[in-house]
A and B are shown apart, each in its own frame.
Chain A
């Protein structure tokens, strides 16, 4: 048999086998993919079947749940606004400039994403209550430290402590109060916002800012007048992702802000509190409410994504 005929035979055989091979491929692909999709659908179905609409409505009428909902909306929004406020310049900096230590900054920004949530909460607690190194030896207005390391006049730990400064100088106590909720949410959600903004600015042509500078712009004007208007969808996306991330935050809030009813309770801690007192109906109702909020955010992100691609 000549080489040409052999090749033709192979092509023809392959042609007959093609649909069967494709079917096997799609079967494996569909089988593996559906595992995860099925898991999510089953989880939601289980939640829905566990409760009734009457129990759901009753749980949502509880004053503590309503207070938690209001606090959640407030803290998530504050955390998202703060995240975008910080992430926009930081994302731009990381996208446009190489400076000594830029790689280290890049890694540091990602730490909250990979850090176990409880560790982040614990770290915040230590940051706000540990005297800053060496500050016990430099003034501070106290009468000096005793052998136990406490200030002789106030009985507090000697040295400069962030929580004391926030409370005494700014009148804003943080730990176990609602600002701690915002800070715990911000610490995580900002990392996601920075990633989003960096990718956004990576996709914007830096040469347009260069041209703007030759036309008379300072670097700041080029950023504000040329780069920032192009980044508006990225800013919206970063804000939405931050908001959604803040909504789901639990570990750092529990450690740093606690879960005190009508004070620091947000929806994620409501689920925990309701579970801990055996109120499964209420826990499931709050969970479903959070699912609805998450779906709304996802739909908004999809809409933004569709706008970007067109």
Chain B
């Protein structure tokens, strides 16, 4: 379970204040809000890339607010995917395992499993420069899942895909959530994504006081 309790984060001159919500373990939560309201900033705070000024971030009941990103077991897929240009697809899938000191056999098994799950077995030896949008997205997902995260943060994962690929990507994300049991927090501004994917829908909105707040817009948060 992920819980934010009265979290305040600064992004430049912009301040997100008093954000609170909960997402149950294994749920697929969709976080919506208009462009520029601070959705990415909030994700960065959850995974430890941005300092939380006030409040607490709890993961499975444990307060991880001051933990380093490496210690949180949170997978993060940014909007631009941020693949490693000098590595092959296989090296992407092995990256987290290598850092955890996994054996060659364990690493190979992990790569095989993820390649099958994400249907990227034929891409393993390729570099990432020539991949299509959909392929690159699956590689980024595999890289994040290889660390066996308790929570997966997806920042507009399918907004850059064409309509046809988007539909299959939605299906893949939902299946991924069901098969791996990983809790997902998916940021989007597309209402269709929220309706088709979300068990829980959260809305970041500016209150009349000027503060940005998270409200439950559907499902059981």
- On A, residues with C-beta under 8 Å from B are 205, 207-208, 210-218, 221, 226, 229-230
Contact = CB atoms under 8 A, between A and B. Distances in A.
B150 interface: no
B144 interface: yes
B147 A208 contact: no
Contacts of B70: 213-218
Contacts of B84: 208, 212, 226, 229-230
Contact of B82 (A211, A216, A218): A211
A214 B86 contact: no
A210 B99 contact: no
A226 B96 CA distance: 12
Contacts of B82: 205, 207-208, 210-211
6 closest Cβ contacts across the A-B interface? A216-B99, A207-B82, A229-B86, A215-B96, A213-B69, A208-B82
A208 B96 contact: no
B66 to A, nearest CB: 15
Contacts of B78: 207, 210-211
Interface residues of B, number: 27
Interface string B60-85: 00000000111010111110101111
6 contacts: A205-B82, A208-B85, A210-B82, A215-B147, A226-B84, A230-B85
Nearest to A206: B82
Contact of A221 (B86, B99, B147): B99
Given A216-B96, A216-B99, A211 B147 contact: no
B95 interface: yes
Contacts, number: 64
B80 A205 contact: yes
**Secondary structure type dominating chain B contacts:** loop
**Secondary structure type dominating chain A contacts:** helix
A214 B85 contact: no
Given A221-B99, A230-B85, A230-B86, A214 B80 contact: no
A216 B80 CA distance: 20
B198 interface: no
A138 B80 CA distance: 58
A208 B74 contact: no
Given A211-B144, A230-B84, 7 more contacts: A212-B84, A214-B47, A214-B70, A216-B147, A217-B99, A218-B68, A230-B85
Nearest to B96: A215
Contacts of A212: 84, 95
A218 B68 CA distance: 9
Nearest to B101: A216
Contacts of A216: 70, 96, 99-100, 147
Nearest to B72: A214
Contacts of A226: 84
